[in-house]
Amino acid sequence: MLRLITGIPGPSGFGSASTAEQVTQGIDASNLTAIITGGASGIGLEVARVLALRGAHVIIAARNMDAAREAKELILKGNNIARVDILNLDLGSLKSVKAFADDFKALHLPLNILINNAGVMFCPFQLSKDGYEMQFATNHLGHFYLTNLLLDKMKETAKVTGVQGRIVNLSSVAHLYTYKEGIRFDMVNDEAGYHEKMAYGQSKLANLLHANELSRRLREEGTNITVNSVHPGIIWTNLMRHSVLFSKIMKLFTWMLWKNVHQGAATTCYVALHPDLKGVTGKYFLDCNEYEPSELARDEALGRKLWDFSEKLVNAAQGK
C-alpha cells in the first residue's frame, strides 16, 4: 500500500507513478504488430499511442468507429509516422468478433501482440446479442473467442519471425470482489441474483483464469507465446459511466490511490513490450510488478472448467 501511494518503484524499477512512456523508453517495437481492443479511448488509447510511438503497427479494435477515427487522428497528430489502422469490433456480439478476426486476417499482417483491453463496468443487468449477461459476455467471452480465433496467426508469426508473441488480458483488483463461488456457471444469466459490482468482479476473475489456462496450454505445446494479466490501477475513464456517483464518492475517500491515464497504461505497456518479461507467462502484474492474485484466480481446476464452459457458450451461440 505504501508503494502504491508513494509511487516508490518495485523490483522491476517501476511503480504506481510510472507512465507508459517511461516504462517503454528506449524500446524499439518497429518489427511488431499489435491489436488493442478498446483502443479508441481511455487506457486503450494511451496504450495504442505509446506502442505506435515505439514503432509498432497498431490495430485499434473499437465498437465506435467515429471514436476510432478520432483516436487515429490524435495519434498521427503527435506522431506523423505512426502506423495505425482501425477495425470494427463489438465484443458483445460473437458474430462481430468473428467478422473482426476475418477482417484482420484479410490484411495479411503478422500478429505479435494481442491486448484484450476493452470492457464494460458496473452496468445494469442486460443480455448481449448472443443472450449472455453483458459484463461476462463483453469482458470475458468476447475476448476468449477473439483470442482463440487469432491464436493460429500469433503462433505462425512467432514461428516465422522467432519473436515471442505476447497476449495481455486486462483484469482488475476487482477480481477479489466476486460471487462466493467465483464463477456462477449455472447462474451467469440469473437476473434475480445479479449484482453489478460482483458481476464485474466475476468477469475480471474470468480474465485472469483465461490467461492462466491459456498460458498453461501454450507451455504444454511449447509455443513461443506468453500470456499474462494486469491490473491497470484506478483511473477515471468512460468505464465509470454506469457508476458516476459511486465512483465520485469512492474517489473522495481514496484519492491518493487514483492514477492518470498515462500511469494507468504503464503496466499494460510494460507487460506487452519490456524485454525483462521475455519468457514470463501466467503471471499477474500490478504497478509494473508481479503480484499474487486471489486463491480463486490460481485455481487450475476452476480455470479448466471456465475454458470448457466458455467454449460451450460460444458453440451454443453459433448453433453448434
What is the C-alpha end-to-end distance of the chain, expressed in Å?
Answer: 48
pLDDT in the model for residue 259: 77
Q: Among this protein's residues, is 270 annotated catalytic?
A: no
Which is nearest to 136 in space by CA: 150, 117, 151, 120?
Answer: 120
pLDDT in the model for residue 255: 43
Which is nearest to 35 in space by CA: 131, 101, 90?
Answer: 101
10-residue averages of pLDDT along the chain (320 residues): 63 95 98 98 96 98 98 98 98 98 98 97 94 97 98 98 98 94 96 95 98 98 98 68 51 56 96 98 97 97 98 91
pLDDT in the model for residue 245: 52
The answer for 316, left when phi > 0, alpha when psi is -120 to 50, beta otherwise, is alpha
Alpha-carbon distance values, 167 to 4, 34, 306, 315 (Å): 25, 10, 18, 23
Q: Domain 2-319 sits in which CATH superfamily? A: NAD(P)-binding Rossmann-like Domain (3.40.50.720)
For the CA atoms of 262, 266, 269, 271, what is the dihedral angle to 10 degrees?
-170
- If you search the block for the grid coordinates 462481430, which residue do you land on? 96
Q: How far is it, in rounded angstroms, from Cα 97 to Cα 101?
A: 6
Q: How many Cβ atoms sit within 10 Å of the Cβ of residue 50?
A: 28
Q: How far is it, in rounded angstroms, from Cα 233 to Cα 237?
A: 12
Which residue is catalytic, options 177, 194, 200, 284? 194
